[in-house]
Amino acid sequence: MNSKFQPLFEKLTLRNGRELKNRVVMAPMTNFASHEDGTVSQDELKYYARRSGGAGMVITACTYVTPNGKGFPGEFGGHSDEMIESLRSLAATIKEQGAAAVLQIFHGGRSCPANLVPDGDVVSASAIPAEAEGAVTPRELTEAEVDEIIKAFGDTTRRAIQAGFDGVEIHGANGYLVQQFFSPHSNRRTDRFGGSLEKRMTFPLAIVEEVKKVVAAEADPSFIVGYRFSPEEPETPGITMEDTAALVNALAEQQLDYLHISLMEIDSKARRGADPSRTRLELVLETIAGRTPLIGVGSIHTPDEAVAALESGSAMVALGRELIMEPDWVEKVQQGREAEIRTTVSKDDQAELVVPDALWAAIINSPGWFPVK
């Protein structure tokens, strides 16, 4: 191995004492391959088995915590105890390859397609549609329903523990329900869950508290709890870097094992609420001030780019699309074969890469998402 890539293979001990074998994380990515009843399919198990041998930690695609939180066709569920066996198969598949298995827990909120939720009842913090063509106007959740969803995040965490996962990641990013409560665009409530910036943090912080409570009661002390967030929104009003600094500051006090920023480009600059000449990653790291590890992510393909992400202050680096295109990325870097790492795909690569049909169709038919040659 080239010595300049050694930082990628340093072990990392998290706050809870859990040791990760290296600093590379498989990012959570929807693969559209589960059965209609929410159980994990054999195609998904093969997909994860193919990619879990190198990374120190694998964060799964998101799993919905309530039936009305299903955000994608082919998404697997964590919403009932009947899903535990399905989840167990996924956890075992990942762990057998040597990676820590972390289940991402999620509710889609207003982003859920109406045909995927019971009675087409799409819900959110407020009855405000997303700024997207064809977006439905969601129903505003009652306070009692909000409390039920908070508890559901805890219940799904218990199922993850019983299924043998090494941790959970609360999905507070990418415009889904947790972010919808934090956003001034989607949250226009006047009760305890909305209004001021502090009240808009009530829901995400309550989920953190509930998850931590379940972990303390049910799990081994080494069980991992992480939180993913998006630093800004394009909408007006919308989340600004100033808002995110407040949320990240609160999260950094929660004794979490890591935070995970969601970025399309790791070096993207701030848009609003901070110095626009500085990167979002830099600003977030400044706010965290060493209190908890941060996973950096965003169009990282080469080992040089991954090392640069660590040098910027990230404790770990997540690879998403790159691990779909190159399942052996970690092994090739370790073996000094980085010149062989593939950074494009062709239409003939599906079988070799072990990618489920629906995900492969999305890759091939979504111009600009993947570099398809």
Strand locations in 230-369 (E): 258-261, 294-296, 316-319
Q: How far apart are CA 235 and CA 299, in angstroms?
A: 23
Catalytic residue chosen out of the listed positions 47, 48, 64, 176:
176
Q: Are 140 and 125 in contact (CB under 8 A)?
A: yes
227 in catalytic set: no
Quick one: which of 318, 181, 178 has its CA closest to 258? 318
End-to-end CA distance of the chain: 29
Q: Beta strand 19-20 with 12-13: parallel, antiparallel or unpaired?
A: antiparallel
Helix, strand or coil, per DSSP, at residue 106: strand
Instruction: Evaluate whether 87 touches 165 at the Cβ level (below 8 Å).
Output: yes
Within 10 angstroms of residue 218's Cβ, the number of other Cβ atoms is 15
Tokens 């082919």 found at: 74
Q: Kindly write down the DSSP assignment for every residue of 328-363, as one continuous string.
A: THHHHHHTT-GGG----B-TT-HHHHT--HHHHHHH
What does the DSSP 8-state code read for residue 22?
A: S
Q: Which residues are catalytic?
A: 176
